[in-house]
Structure 1
Amino acid sequence: MRENEDQWCAYQATGNCVILAGPGSGKTKTITIKIARLLAEDVRRPRRVACITYSNACVGELRSRLTRLGVGDSDRLVLSTVHSFCLTELVFPYAKMAGLQMPDPLVVASPAQARALFSDAYRAQLGGNAPAWFRMACDRLRRTILDRGSDEWRAGSARETMVVEAYENLLLQNGLIDFDGLVLAGLQLVEKNEWVRHAIRAKYPVVVIDEYQDLGVPLHRIVLALLQAGVRIIAVGDPDQSIYGFTGAKPDLLTALAGLQQMESVTLKLNYRCADRIIAASRALLPEPAEFRSHDGRSGEIHIHRLECSIREQADYALGTLVPALLEANPSWAPGDIAVLYRTLNEGAPIAEAADALGLQYFRLDNGSPIKRTRVTEWLTDAARWCSGGWQTGEISLSQLLKAWRRMYRSVTHESELLATRKRLISALFSLRDSALPLRRWLLALRRDVLDELLEQEPGLADEKDNLEELTAAAGAGGPLRAFTVEIFGNQGKMPRVKQDESSASIWMRVLALRQRWRA
Structure 2
Amino acid sequence: MPPIGPSTDTVTGAEVVLAGLDDEQRTAAQAVSGPVCILAGAGTGKTRTITHRIAYGVHLGAYVPEQVLAVTFTARAAGELRGRLASLGVGGVQARTFHAAALRQLRYFAPRVLGGPLPGLVENKLRLVASAASRARLSTDRTSLRDLASEIEWAKTTLATPEDYPARAQAAGRELPFEAAAVARVYESYESAKQREGVLDFEDLLLVTAFTLEEHQDVARQVRAQYRHFVVDEYQDVNPLQQRLLDAWLGGRAEVCVVGDPNQTIYSFTGADPDYLLGFADRYPDAEVVKLERDYRSTPQVVGLANKLIGQAPRRKGLPGLRLLGQRAEGPEPVFREHPDEPAEAAAVAARCRELIDAGLPAAEIAVLFRINAQSEVYENALTDVGVPYVLKGGERFFERPEVREAVVLLRGAAAGGNEPGMLVPTVRDVLASMGWVEHRPPPGGAARDRWQSLAALVDLAVDLVSENPSLDLAGFVAHLAERADAQHAPTVQGVTLASMHAAKGLEWDVVFVVGLVDGVLPIAQSLSRPEAVEEERRLLYVAVTRAREQLTLSWSLSRNPGGRRSRPRSRFLTGLAPESAPTAPPARRREKKQKVVLEGEAGELFERLRAWRSQAAQSASVPAYVVFTDATLQAIAESRPSSLRELSGLPGIGARKLELYGEDVLATVSG
The question of 1:12 aligning with 2:48 is answered: no
Alignment deviations for residues 336-358 of structure 1 (CA, whole Å, 9 cap, x no partner): 33333333322233323322332
Shift in alpha-carbon separation, 1:508–1:179, aligned structure 2, 3 A: same
Structural mapping, 1:323-338, within 5 Å: 323-326=353-356, 333-338=361-366
| Structure with more contact order per residue of length (Cα contacts < 8 Å, sep ≥ 6) | 1
The alpha-carbon deviation at position 88 of structure 1 amounts to 0.5
Return the match for 1:508 from 496, 500, 511: 496
- Match for residue 128 of structure 1 among 114, 132, 139: 139
- Counterpart for residue 216 of structure 2: 193
1:519 aligns with 2:555: yes
**Counterpart in the other structure of 1:283:** 307
Alpha-carbon offset, residue 385 of structure 1 = 13
Q: CA deviation at 1:439?
A: 9.1
Q: Who is 1:370 aligned against?
A: 396
| Structure 1: distance between partners of 2:381 and 2:417 | 37
Deviations 1:291-347 (A, max 9, x none): 22112574652111211311x432221121x2344456xx67444333333333222
Q: Map residues 56-71 of structure 1 onto 2, 5 A cutoff.
A: 56-71=75-90
Conserved in 1, the CA contact under 8 Å of 2:363 and 2:389?
Answer: no
Larger radius of gyration: 2
How many residue pairs match? The answer is: 425
Contact 1:438 1:484 in 2 (8 A): no
The aligned amino acid for 1:519 is S
Listed one character per residue, the Cα deviations across residues 149-174 of structure 1 (whole Å, up to 9, x for unaligned) are: 9x855855433333222212212222
How many Å apart are 1:426 and its aligned residue?
A: 6.8
- Residue 346 of structure 2 is matched in structure 1 by 315
- What is the CA–CA distance in structure 2 between the aligned matches of 1:429 and 1:59, rounded to whole Å? 32
Q: Where does residue 50 of structure 2 map in the other structure?
A: 31
Call closer, same or farther: CA 1:488–1:242 in 2, change over 3 Å.
same
Q: Tell me the alpha carbon deviations over residues 388-430 of structure 1, each in whole angstroms, 9 at most, x when there is no partner.
A: xxxxxxxxxxxxxxxxxxxxxxxxxxxxxxxxxxx99973997
Q: CA shift at 1:235, angstroms?
A: 1.2
Alignment gaps of 5+ in structure 1: 388-422, 443-475, 499-505
Distance 1:217 1:7, change over 3 A: same
- Superposed counterparts of 1:201-212, under 5 Å: 201-212=224-235
CA RMSD for the aligned pairs? 3.9
Q: Which residue of 2 aligns with 1:304?
A: 336
Give the structure 1 partner of residue 373 of structure 2: 345
* Distance in structure 1 (CA, Å) of the matches to 2:371 and 2:435: 35
Judged with a 3 Å threshold, the aligned counterparts in structure 2 of structure 1 residues 386 and 290 are, in CA distance, closer, same or farther, namely farther
Equivalent residues of 1:122, 1:163 under 8 A apart? yes
Instruction: Pick which of 232-241 and 39-48 moved more.
Output: 39-48
| Cα separation, 2, equivalents of 1:292 and 1:486 | 39
Percent identical pairs in the alignment equals 23
**Shift in CA distance, 161/491, structure 1 to aligned 2, threshold 3 Å:** farther
Query: Hey, what's the Cα distance between the residues in 2 that align with 1:316 and 1:223?
Result: 48
Amino acid at match of 1:6: E
- Superposed, which structure 2 residues align to 1:170-249 within 5 Å? 170-230=193-253, 232-249=255-272
Q: Which residue of 2 aligns with 1:503?
A: none
Q: How many angstroms does 1:13 deviate by? A: 0.5
Q: Name the CA distance, whole Å, in 2 between partners of 1:92 and 1:425.
A: 36
Aligned to 1:160: 183
Query: How far apart, in 2, do the equivalents of 1:37 and 1:385 lie?
Result: 40
Quick check: 1:81 aligned with 2:81? no
Match of 1:359, SS state, is coil
Cα separation, 2, equivalents of 1:191 and 1:110? 26
Question: 2:112 maps to which residue?
Answer: 97
Equivalent position to 1:266, from 286, 290, 303: 290
Quickly say closer, same or farther: Cα 1:316–1:492, change in 2 above 3 A.
farther
- In 2, distance between residues paired with 1:439 and 1:77? 41
Kindly indicate whether the alpha-carbon contact (under 8 Å) linking 1:15 and 1:264 is maintained by their aligned counterparts in 2. no
Equivalent-residue separation in structure 2 for 1:85 and 1:140 (angstroms): 21
Separation (CA, whole Å) in 2 of partners of 1:218 and 1:439: 49
CA drift of 1:510 comes to: 6.3
Alpha-carbon offset, residue 187 of structure 1: 2.0
Secondary structure in 2 aligned to 1:121?
A: helix
TM-aligned CA deviation for residue 483 of structure 1: 2.0
Q: Are residue 427 (structure 1) and residue 416 (structure 2) matched?
A: yes
1:137 aligns with 2:151: yes
Alpha-carbon distance, 1:44 to partner: 5.9
Distance 1:85 1:425 in 2: 35
Q: Distance in 2 between matches of 1:493 and 1:347?
A: 34
* 1:480 to 1:142, Cα distance in 2 relative to 1, 3 A: farther
Deviation at 1:36, TM superposition (A): 1.9
Distance 2:418 2:245 in 1: 40
Structure showing the higher strand proportion among its residues: 2
Matching of residue 482 in structure 1 with residue 451 in structure 2: yes
Q: Which residue of 2 aligns with 1:109?
A: 122
State the AA in 1 paired with 2:82. Answer: R
Go from structure 1 to structure 2 and tell me whether the alpha carbon gap of 1:195 and 1:298 turns closer, same or farther (over 3 Å shift): farther
Q: 1:290 to 1:185 in 2, by over 3 A?
A: same
Structure 2 SS opposite 1:307: strand
TM-score normalized by structure 2?
0.56
Q: Whole-Å Cα distance in 2 between the matches of residues 292 and 385 of structure 1? A: 46
Report the CA distance between 1:251 and its aligned residue. 1.8
Structure 2 vs 1, CA of residues 33 and 97 (structure 1 numbering), >3 Å: closer, same or farther? same
Whole-Å Cα distance in 2 between the matches of residues 384 and 28 of structure 1?
Answer: 30
1:118 to 102, 126, 129: 129
Per the alignment, do residues 218 and 339 of structure 1 end up closer, same or farther by CA in structure 2, a change over 3 Å counting?
same
Distance 1:231 1:198 in 2: 16
AA matched with 1:110: E
The alpha-carbon distance between structure 1 residues 170 and 428, as it changes in their structure 2 partners (threshold 3 A), is farther
Task: Report SS of the residue matched to 2:150.
Answer: helix
Out of 387, 409, 422, which is 1:359 matched to? 387
- The answer as to whether partners of 1:341 and 1:511 remain within 8 angstroms in 2 is yes
Q: Secondary structure at the match of 1:97?
A: helix
Q: 1:46 to 1:139 in 2, by over 3 A?
A: closer
Question: Partner amino acid for 2:346?
Answer: A
How much has 1:68 moved relative to structure 2?
A: 3.2
* Mapped partners of 2:222, 2:260: distance in 1: 27
Tell me if the contact between 1:239 and 1:254 (Cα under 8 Å) persists in the aligned partners: yes
Structure 2: how far apart are the matches of 1:34 and 1:28? 10
Q: Are 2:235 and 2:258, in contact at CA under 8 Å, matched by a contact in 1?
A: yes
Contact 2:32–2:62, Cα closer than 8 Å, also in 1: no
TM-score normalized with structure 1 length: 0.70
Amino acid at match of 1:233: V
Query: What's the CA shift for 1:115?
Result: 0.8
Contact 2:110–2:117, Cα closer than 8 Å, also in 1: no
Structure 1 residue 110, shift from structure 2 partner: 1.5
Distance in 2 separating the partners of 1:95 and 1:430: 45
Distance 1:429-1:370 versus aligned 2 partners, 3 A rule: farther
Contact 1:439–1:485, Cα closer than 8 Å, also in 2: no
Partner deviation per Cα, 1:372-397 (whole Å, 9 max, x = no partner): 5x8x78xx79x96995xxxxxxxxxx
